Structure 1
Amino acid sequence: MRTPPAGGPLVMRGIVKRYGAVRALDGVDLELRPGEVHALLGENGAGKTTLMNVLYGMTRPDAGAIEIGGRAARFAAPRDAAAEGIGMVHQHFMLVPTLTVAENMVLGRPGGLFLGRRRLAAVAARLADLARRYELDVDPHAKVWQLSVGEQQRVEILRALYHEARVLILDEPTSTLAPVESERLFPRLRAMAREGAAIVFITHHLGDVMRWADRITVLRRGTRVGVLDPSATSEPELARLMVGRDVGRIAPRTGPPARKETVLTVDGITAHGDRGPIALRDVSFTVAAGEIVAIAGVEGNGQPELEEVLMGLRAPAAGRVILDGRDVTGLPPGARLGHGLGLVPSDRNRRGIVGGLSVAENLVLDRIGRPPFGTRLRLSRQAIEDNGAAEVERFSIAVSSPAQPAGTLSGGNAQRTVLARALSAGLRCLVAAQPTRGLDVGAIEFVWERLAEARAAGLAVLLISTDLDEVMTIADRCCVLYRGRLVASWPREDLDREQIGLAMGGALTPPPEDTRRTPE
């Protein structure tokens, strides 16, 4: 770790960034001190990531100044920020999928991909040492496209560590980590701070903020609304500052599900991953109408493969997917949608929205070419626009108009768009994969309420989640996926946070073969 300059605080003063008529940042001040862990909070679209992108040289401000140790600094590109020892771990990964982990480390550096095998081997060896030191399990020789979302997150963290950042920015660093991994990460960040680094992390996990932050800056609608000491505030107060109102999490459900008929049956699914080895092994469970069944687990244990098998995006090597008594295992995604199986994908940017299309068009992507939105030969623009206006209002999607390109939406509004499309399609079963990843407390509350309403209306909901708060709050049953197997299952009344966390980390002995099926 580099030694910070004398007096080394990094200060951002009066930062302004406009996008057309919208002020994403409106005169924001921020101070980062060496030896400090600083939390940056705000609802989706508040300007947190924009502010950090300014600091990292990815976004040029329209006004304002940056000082490091009392001297002015200007960053025209990320390489300028990196030269000052600033590293950033992005929420949406900045990796080249076709390159190895080690090759991604040297991109943009002297020699780059032209380094010889011996020097690349040295890079890989150093990465392996860092991975052991910080307990971030990553194979330096793996291609990035072969890695799970959680593994790619670890690569981003390792890249910042590899380049010895003394100001380390982490955008939602624990969004794909299991509780045990988060518990390991934050002490390491604290150790880096003790060595002189300034750490700033963006998160929606207020418990992590209260436990690990030395100071907290809260943004709302592009302005700074507070700089707080964790000892002088509380989680409800932070949530209120973020969204401008009191935020109350929905009450956990009590009692059994209202309905009992089985809608989704997953019977003995075995599937291979992209690297070739088996990613799912004899996975079996059921989901009933009016029930939310959670599949909990750390990223990289088969969740993406399960999501893809259920929606017809990956062919299983064995087993069946049955929807309302109909075997849909061999059907393509469109046919499954037609039979009432919907998806909120784990990667909303890659599979949830088409950025170049309007919000209104994204809201009917799965029904284009079908009445009332048109036929195979023509679109009904008026019907698409009318539906867009109605859904934007019903799901409180913050847009200038339904014609706004979906690619300009904040994460929370993009997720509302995906959820609105799924829940307005007349489904029988919804697969909701990581539905609140990267969302603020207000957006999380909204998603949970919509899923609870869907359950109350009789929809069968399969929740694939790494968030224990989410599982504990809205699940009627919970199964744990570990190394491709379901290793534990509990009904609502027996859910225990510690036991679920242990199972996610592989600490519980797998049950006998005949208990892997959850009762109908």
Structure 2
Amino acid sequence: MEYVIEMLNIRKEFPGIVANDNITLQLKKGEIHALLGENGAGKSTLMNVLFGLYQPENGEIRVNGEPVKITNPNIANDLGIGMVHQHFMLVEPFTVTENIILGKETTSGGKIDIKNAEKKVREISEKYGLAVDPQAKISDISVGMQQRVEILKTLYRGAEILIFDEPTAVLTPQEIHELIQIMKTLINEGKSIILITHKLKEIMEVCDRVTVIRKGVGIGTVNVSETNPNELASLMVGREVTFKTEKIPADPKQNVLDIKDLHVKDSRGLSAINGLDLQIRAGEIVGIAGVDGNGQTELLEAITGLRRSESGSIMINGKNIRNHSPRKVTESGVGHIPQDRHKHGLVLDFPIGENMVLQTYYQKPFSNKGVLNFKEIYKKANSLIKEFDVRTPSEFTLARALSGGNQQKAIIGREVDRDPDLLIAAQPTRGLDVGAIEFIHKRLIEQRDHGKAVLLLSFELDEIMNVSDRIAVIYEGKIVAIVDPKQTTEQELGLLMAGSQRKEAGEEANV
């Protein structure tokens, strides 16, 4: 069998941890090969070895049957290997073309030849159906477009083998559909793709074979046509995984959150929330469904004190907290799992232990008269790390060194432990594997069953349908319908999210 890439018995160690324990992965020409595993299983590490960012302790890499030593990404590029990273490597003030040619600039008369570069970028973009404007600034284009720029960057450098690292983690459902079409086009043009993911639906839809790794060990490679999502989930986490969220019917009590006629502007000063009303009761989960950009972010920022609102009221247990500081909002009984865990959830260069008390460090027993008590801080952190199964070498490990799933578990542990009356969970499972998703859904339902109000924001419709007791549909900054997940379909929700009217929306809103 002719393989374009062979990674044979790759071993990669970091201090105190074996990230890849003699893993073998073989990529055929013209296939989409999934690399599947839990958060922290060693997927990205293995691909960083292939791309030359890490050097393995043992093992051999072959390209087209020839043994190679890939000591840096330039050698990987020369061998026709390109990588589309999970966190994009783009310079925001630069244009698309400037980003693509960075490090590969061609000059004419001592100047960078931008015109020719733009022409080449446009040609590649059209050939692969990427539809990217070469002159657009990175700061002005959507996340989905930025990802296309990363793909273009690899193609500009002549990549025949593309590594996609969790490419759909930050995309909307529409962008995911478009990316899958782009991948198919790349394969039709003779490229080969390794797709790092833990989204089983995407593997079943687009991949030919899948290699599973668990806790750094290779479990095996299977043909997608001969497997199913349940079998893959079991291979990935080492046990049966339930996809359906088990829960008893909600028993809602009094209003905890009551928003009336709220108006909020976005960062450009344009109206983002236009007279929005929303109530959430103790003992229920209300999911917010909507296409990204319809005011969800501004709504959550207004509730949590991260953004000023123009008018209206935001009542928590009968007390108006509109335009209070984030700390005052927190002390009013609000917990917040933010949608961007790096920007608003963690201080990445602090130890994970100190991140566990970011909301309470100024209170006893963690501090006394302004002096921090680190013994108590780390004692608390240790108990939360155990309770929420945060997999970390120690409580002193920097937050940035943990996998996305473990960072998320740490944030959830911190917020749930404070026992808030309202828990806001924004994209709580974004970029997480099925095991971590199952864990987080159980925790949200536990909060509900303890008589707490939960506001869930997610762009995953099946998550909204599965976990919510009521679904509030947001469109152009207003709640346009409130529906019962048991009496609606993804199709109907999709139409409401796109702004179509629903005859019984008024009746449903009174449920």
TM-score, length-scaled by structure 1 = 0.89
Q: 1:306 and 1:151 mapped to 2: Cα distance?
A: 25
CA offsets per residue over residues 45-74 of structure 1, 9 Å max, x none? 111011111122222222222211122333
Residue correspondence of structure 1 range 265-344 to structure 2 within 5 A: 265-344=258-337
Identify if the C-alpha distance between structure 1 residues 44 and 281 changes in structure 2 by more than 3 Å, giving closer, same or farther: same
Percent same amino acid among aligned pairs?
38
1:241 aligns with 2:241: no
> How many residues are paired up?
508
What letter corresponds to residue 382 of structure 1 in structure 2? Answer: K
Q: Does 1:471 align with 2:468?
A: no
Q: Cα 1:124–1:324, aligned 2, differ >3 Å: closer, same or farther? A: farther
Q: 1:100 to 1:398 in 2, by over 3 A?
A: same
The whole-number CA distance in structure 2 between the counterparts of 1:140 and 1:10 is: 35
Q: What residue number does 1:77 align with?
A: 72
1:21 to 12, 16, 19: 16
Kindly provide the amino acid, as one letter, of the partner of residue 236 in structure 1: N
- Could you give the per-residue CA deviations for residues 215-265 of structure 1, whole angstroms, max 9, x where no partner exists? 01000111110100122222111111111111123535464x312322123
Structure 1, 39-48 or 192-201: larger mean CA deviation = 192-201
1:401-443 per-residue CA deviation (whole Å, 9 max, x = no partner) reads 3222222211111111000000011211111111111111111
Quote the residue 2:451 is aligned against: 458
1:367 aligns with 2:360: yes
Paired position in structure 2 for 1:258:
251
Whole-angstrom distance in 1 between the partners of 2:281 and 2:445: 14
1:269 Cα deviation after fit? 3.5
Q: Which amino acid aligns with 1:190?
A: K
Counterpart position of 2:84: 89
Query: How far off its partner does 1:489 sit?
Result: 3.3
- For residues 107-137 of structure 1, the C-alpha deviation after alignment (integer angstroms, 9 at most, x for no partner) is 222159x746645764775587579x3478x
**Aligned partners of 1:286, 1:159: CA distance in 2, in Å?**
46
Determine if contact 2:273/2:299 at 8 Å carries over to the other structure: yes
Query: 2:77–2:158: 8 Å Cα contact kept in structure 1?
Result: no
Cross-structure match for 1:436: 429
Greater shift, 265-274 or 214-223, is seen at 265-274
DSSP 3-state at the match of 1:466: coil
Give, in whole Å, the separation in 2 of the partners of 1:433 and 1:49. 25
- 1:197-224 per-position Cα deviation (integer Å, ceiling 9, x unaligned): 1112122221221222100100011111
From 211, 225, 228, give the equivalent of 1:231: 225
**1:405-444 correspondence to structure 2 within 5 Å:** 405-444=398-437
In 2 relative to 1, CA 181–355 (structure 1 residues): closer, same or farther, beyond 3 Å? closer
2:193 alignment partner, one of 183, 189, 199 = 199
Letter of the structure 2 residue corresponding to residue 83 of structure 1: D
After superposition, the C-alpha distances for 1:89-122 in whole angstroms (9 at most, x for unaligned) are 222222223434443223222159x746645764
Q: Tell me if the contact between 2:346 and 2:355 (Cα under 8 Å) persists in the aligned partners.
A: yes
Distance 1:219 1:63 in 2: 17
Give yes or no for contact 2:481–2:509 (8 Å, CA) kept in 1: no
Question: How far, CA to CA, are the matches of 1:284 and 1:127 in structure 2?
Answer: 47
| Secondary structure of the structure 2 residue equivalent to 1:64 | strand
> Which of 102, 105, 108 is 1:110 aligned to?
105
Q: How far apart, CA to CA, are the structure 1 residues paired with 2:269 and 2:135?
A: 18
Distance 2:125 2:309 in 1: 33
Deviation at 1:305, TM superposition (A): 2.8
- Displacement after TM superposition at 1:468 (Å): 1.8
Measured against aligned partners, the alpha-carbon deviations of 1:1-28 in whole angstroms (never above 9, x if no partner) come to xxxxx95611111211111121101111
Alignment-mate amino acid for residue 220 of structure 1: R
Aligned equivalent of 2:47: 52
Instruction: Tell me the distance in 2 between the aligned counterparts of 1:320 and 1:129.
Output: 49
Asked whether the equivalents of residues 95 and 134 of structure 2 are also in contact (C-alpha less than 8 Å), the reply is no
**Cα distance change on mapping 1:119 and 1:470 into 2, 3 Å:** same
State the match for 1:211 in structure 2: 205
Decide which of 371, 375, 378 is 1:382's aligned counterpart. Answer: 375
Does the CA contact (< 8 Å) of 2:92 and 2:137 recur in 1?
A: no
1:8–1:33 contact (8 Å) kept in structure 2? yes
User: Which residue pairs with 2:500 in the alignment?
Assistant: 509
Q: Could you tell me whether the CA contact under 8 Å between 2:354 and 2:377 is conserved in 1?
A: yes
| Structure 2 CA distance for aligned equivalents of residues 163 and 298 of structure 1 | 34
What is the RMSD of the two structures over their aligned residues, measured on CA atoms?
A: 3.0
User: Which stretch of structure 1 is more off in the superposition, 159-168 or 14-23?
Assistant: 159-168
2:59 to 64, 74, 93: 64
Structure 1 unmatched ranges of 5 or more: 1-5
Q: Is the 8 A contact 1:486 1:516 kept in 2?
A: no
User: Partners in 1 of 2:164 and 2:433 — Cα distance?
Assistant: 15
After superposition, give the CA deviation of every residue in 1:468-488 in whole Å (9 maximum; x if it has no partner).
221121011223344545444
**Higher deviation after alignment, 443-452 or 371-380:** 371-380
Q: Which residue does 2:492 correspond to in 1?
A: 499
Q: Relative to 1, partners in 2 of residues 1:147 and 1:276: Cα closer, same or farther, differing over 3 Å?
A: farther
1:159 and 1:430 mapped to 2: Cα distance? Answer: 41
- Tell me the TM-score normalised to structure 2 length: 0.90
8 A Cα contact 1:284 1:516, kept in partner? no
Farther off after superposition, 117-126 or 465-474: 117-126
In 1, Cα distance between the equivalents of 2:141 and 2:311? 23
- Measure the CA separation in 2 of the matches of 1:254 and 1:501: 26
CA distance in 2, matches of 1:495, 1:154: 34
